[in-house]
Amino acid sequence: MSKIKVMDEILANKIAAGEVIEKCVSIVKELVENSIDAKSSKIRIDLLNSGVNEIRVTDNGIGMDSDDALLAFQRHATSKLLSDKDLFNINSLGFRGEALPSIASVSEVELKTCQKDVGTRIVIKGGKLIINEKCEARVGTEIIVKKLFYNTPARLKHLSSLYTELANVSEFVNKIALSYPSISFTLTNDGKTLLNTDGRGSLLKVINSIYGIDITKRMVEVSGSDDEYSISGYISLPEVNKSSRNHMITIVNGRIVRNLEINKCINEAYHTYKPDDRYPIVILNIEVDTSLVDVNIHPTKQDIKFSKLEELKELITNIIINALKEKILIPKMEEKSTIPFINKVIAEKEVVEDKKEEIKEEKKYEEVTLDLDYIKEETSTYQEEIVDNKKVPVMYPVGVVRGTYIVCQNEDGMFLIDQHAANERINYEYYYESLTNKTEVVNMLIPINLEFPSNEYLIIKENLDILRDIGFDIEEFGISSFIIRSHPIWLPKGNEELAIKKILELIVEKEKNFDKQRFNDRVAATVACKASIKANDAISIEEMEVLVNKLRQCKNPYTCPHGRPTIIFYSNYELEKLFKRAM
């Protein structure tokens, strides 16, 4: 007797549900995407107990007739994919035909749908049809999902907390609302409205509904295209950043997607504008011919492959960098409005994360090694002529606070400048320029002999050409050691040996796909920190003026190489508001 048998359809659907339906947000995602495919202009999502007790999705789409309504619960039944050719030109969000049968196999589902005058009502419990009847209904579809995973207790046990389930659903609905600003989305939980967009097609209005007015005012519109891709959307100013990558949202042909390469590209475009462990808010709509992307990788349909990824990354990088260069990025201090209730459930979670990151940031930058000589001395390679850089207005130092923050003023208001961060930016650009151009070398009176563990010694030995290329005279000297007889002239005086050790550490950490530009960047940032004046170093008003004027000459005067702000601005109006002189 044969041991191999074809499993029944209900069992097959339960297995498929393990891939498609993992938690409450999985159901919301599949139902909302079906509503969008049905050409809905209004979609409402109502949850009870974060969706664990009930999920109700109502739309005003085209609806279904009685035959299609019943057929929709059959596995692999779909109106969106009919041939092999369609698989390579997918224009809908759903296409597998697995969502509804998978949901129905692990819950109780009630469907009401109507195309014209008479509607259809279907009730399915655990994959078994209970009711199929005609009913009164308005045009569109309503689906109610109850008792999720009631017949698969192991999956029910592994649902997250109610708070986490609600946060996941809210995050998805936020993203889908950003993807379709022309659709009105409403999300409620236990009768409380968490999101309500007007569906009038304004992406900025949706951003305001989700993030609030303070962040909306700090978003920059971007757009660009090449032969293959067309991109539009909004990016945040560097001062607006989050502890999570979740706010870098990429939308390809209306589909929210995840692509690590694209996220990395977006984050690197902000390099030196913000700390490396903080992430911007970015919403990018990418339009591309469907034949150039593959979304049929995972049942969730969020992973995607691009056939011309490098061209897309280059376009995104150029769009973001050009947008940031055009903006004056001095943070302006204003009275903060309260966090909108719409996203309180997510905001509270992120406030905790941000506080943890702030503590980490304080520890990260607490210890600094600096040298005042660079400010006091003239360097032949640095242009001393003061130019009128419109990125930073002319300002006049008047004092210093806590030995760290230079107080400046002009007719517009007051500026606070972090003397270490500002000097670090000046030095970084000077050293980066020196690294990319051939500079003079200094012969050392007493050569430096450095010894390393065998594994590090072998890595440095393999990469001696990199060091020689930037001006070091270095060679092997005995067992597991090197001797350095000359170095580039730009190494900080008095800290040459320490700077050389730091550069050799970067060689040891060298990534497999070595990038000379990124290596130069890391060397410049490392040496700049060691060469900069430190917090609590006393400098005169004249030295403050030199520092401010050199900062004004920088290509990016707004942040240090680590992304921390160099300048903060208080307008006259804001100062007067603080002292109740203006209301």
Res. 545: pLDDT tops 90: yes
Query: What number of other Cβ atoms are within 10 A of residue 110's Cβ?
Result: 17
Res. 16: pLDDT tops 70: no
The half-sphere exposure of 291 on its side-chain side, counting CA atoms within 13 A, is: 3
Res. 458: pLDDT tops 70: yes
Question: Is the same domain home to 379 and 508?
Answer: yes
Tell whether 352 is covered by a domain: no
Q: Average pLDDT, whole number, for the chain?
A: 80
Q: Identify the weakest region by mean pLDDT among 219-228, 337-346, 371-380, 548-557.
A: 371-380
Q: Per-residue pLDDT tens for 385-427?
A: 334 456 788 999 999 998 899 999 999 999 999 999 999 999 9
Look up the CATH number of the domain holding residue 139.
3.30.565.10
pTM above 0.85, yes or no: no
Question: Is the same domain home to 236 and 131?
Answer: no
Question: Is the same domain home to 321 and 394?
Answer: no
Confidence label for 182 from pLDDT (cuts 50, 70 and 90): very high
Question: Is the same domain home to 147 and 253?
Answer: no
Res. 79: pLDDT tops 90: no
Question: Is the same domain home to 495 and 554?
Answer: yes
pLDDT at 19: 47
For residues 125-137, one letter each, b for 16 or more C-beta atoms within 10 angstroms of the residue's C-beta and e for the rest, the string is bbbeeeeeeeeeb
Residue that terminates a domain, selected from 159, 191, 218: 159
Measured at the alpha carbon of residue 115, what is the angle toward residues 113 and 116, in degrees to the nearest 5?
Answer: 120
Tell whether 351 is covered by a domain: no
Backbone φ and ψ of 546, nearest 5°: -60, -45
pLDDT at 521: 86
Pick 244 or 285 by higher pLDDT: 285
Tell me the C-alpha distance between 567 and 330, whole Å. Answer: 6
Pick 553 or 77 by higher pLDDT: 553
Q: Per-residue pLDDT tens for 261-287?
A: 899 999 999 988 888 888 999 999 999
Confidence label for 513 from pLDDT (cuts 50, 70 and 90): low
Residue 243 Cα to chain centre, angstroms? 9
Question: Is the same domain home to 154 and 217?
Answer: no
Query: 162-179 and 24-37 helices cross at what angle (nearest 10)?
Result: 20
Q: Residue 500 to residues 56, 339, 553: CA-CA distances in angstroms?
A: 63, 48, 28
Q: Per-residue pLDDT tens for 355-364?
A: 444 444 443 3
Q: Per-residue pLDDT tens for 376-390?
A: 343 333 333 334 456
User: Average pLDDT, stretch 190-213?
Assistant: 92
pLDDT at 490: 84
Closest alpha carbon to 503 in 477, 535, 481, 525: 525
pLDDT at 379: 34
CB 568 within 8 A of CB 416: yes
User: Average pLDDT, stretch 425-449?
Assistant: 87
CB 28 within 8 A of CB 173: yes
pLDDT at 440: 83
Tell whether 169 is covered by a domain: no
Res. 63: pLDDT tops 80: yes
CB 381 within 8 A of CB 434: yes
pLDDT at 484: 92
For residues 368-390, one letter each, b for 16 or more C-beta atoms within 10 angstroms of the residue's C-beta and e for the rest, the string is bebbbebbeeeeeebeeeeeeee
Q: Per-residue pLDDT tens for 291-322?
A: 787 765 555 555 677 888 899 999 999 999 99
Question: Is the same domain home to 142 and 210?
Answer: no
Local structure of 158: helix, strand or coil: coil
Q: Identify the weakest region by mean pLDDT among 15-24, 132-141, 275-284, 464-473.
A: 15-24
Find where tokens 């989700």 sit.
210
Find where tokens 């009164």 sit.
136
Res. 367: pLDDT tops 50: no
Tell whether 332 is covered by a domain: no
Look up the CATH number of the domain holding residue 487.
3.30.1370.100
Q: Where are the beta strands (DSSP E) in 137-257?
A: 140-146, 184-189, 192-196, 219-225, 229-236, 241-242, 248-252, 255-257
User: Average pLDDT, stretch 214-235?
Assistant: 92
Tell whether 347 is covered by a domain: no
Q: Per-residue pLDDT tens for 480-505?
A: 889 999 998 888 887 788 888 888 88
Q: Per-residue pLDDT tens for 95-117?
A: 455 778 888 888 899 999 998 88
pLDDT at 76: 56
Residue that terminates a domain, selected from 299, 325, 351: 325
Tell me the C-alpha distance between 564 and 204, whole Å. Answer: 27
CB 53 within 8 A of CB 35: no
Res. 373: pLDDT tops 50: no
Pick 183 or 433 by higher pLDDT: 183
CB 253 within 8 A of CB 288: yes
Tell whether 578 is covered by a domain: no
pLDDT at 17: 43
Confidence label for 516 from pLDDT (cuts 50, 70 and 90): confident
Tell me the C-alpha distance between 551 and 430, whole Å. Answer: 11
Tell me the C-alpha distance between 375 and 269, whole Å. Answer: 30
Confidence label for 94 from pLDDT (cuts 50, 70 and 90): low
Res. 90: pLDDT tops 90: no
Domain count, the chain: 3
User: Average pLDDT, stretch 63-84?
Assistant: 71
Could you tell me where the DSSP H helices lie in 277-343?
309-325
Q: How many helices (H) and strands (E) does the chain have?
A: 20, 24
Tell whether 582 is covered by a domain: no
334: Cβ–Cβ under 8 A, 6 or more apart, which residues?
214, 574
Tell me 126's DSSP state: T
Pick 476 or 373 by higher pLDDT: 476
Tell whether 181 is covered by a domain: no
Question: Is the same domain home to 212 and 119?
Answer: no
Query: What number of other Cβ atoms are within 10 A of residue 349's Cβ?
Result: 15
If 0-12 CB within 10 Å is exposed, 13-18 middle and 19+ buried, where does residue 339 land? middle
Res. 222: pLDDT tops 80: yes
For residues 239-257, one letter each, b for 16 or more C-beta atoms within 10 angstroms of the residue's C-beta and e for the rest, the string is bbbbbeeebbbbbbbbbbb
Question: Is the same domain home to 132 and 41?
Answer: yes
Torsion-angle region of 338 (φ positive above 0: left; ψ -120 to 50: alpha; else: beta): beta
Residue that terminates a domain, selected from 268, 293, 325: 325
pLDDT at 85: 52
197: Cβ–Cβ under 8 A, 6 or more apart, which residues?
177, 181, 183, 184, 185, 186, 205, 206, 209
Q: Per-residue pLDDT tens for 337-358?
A: 444 444 544 544 554 444 444 4
User: Average pLDDT, stretch 319-328?
Assistant: 88
Look up the CATH number of the domain holding residue 210.
3.30.230.10
User: Average pLDDT, stretch 126-150?
Assistant: 89
User: Average pLDDT, stretch 209-221?
Assistant: 90
CB 533 within 8 A of CB 539: yes
The half-sphere exposure of 78 on its side-chain side, counting CA atoms within 13 A, is: 20
Question: Is the same domain home to 259 and 397?
Answer: no
Q: Residue 214 to residues 218, 220, 405, 416, 573: CA-CA distances in angstroms?
A: 7, 13, 25, 21, 17
pLDDT at 515: 75
pLDDT at 126: 83
Q: In terms of residues, how long is the chain?
A: 583
Question: Is the same domain home to 104 and 25?
Answer: yes
pLDDT at 81: 47
Domain of residue 534: give its range. Answer: 373-569
Tokens linked to 67: 């035959």
Tokens linked to 372: 């005042």
Q: Which amino acid is present at 560?
A: C
Question: Is the same domain home to 395 and 529?
Answer: yes
DSSP string of 65-111? Answer: -HHHHHHTTSTT--SS--SHHHHTS--SS--SS-HHHHHHHTSEEEE
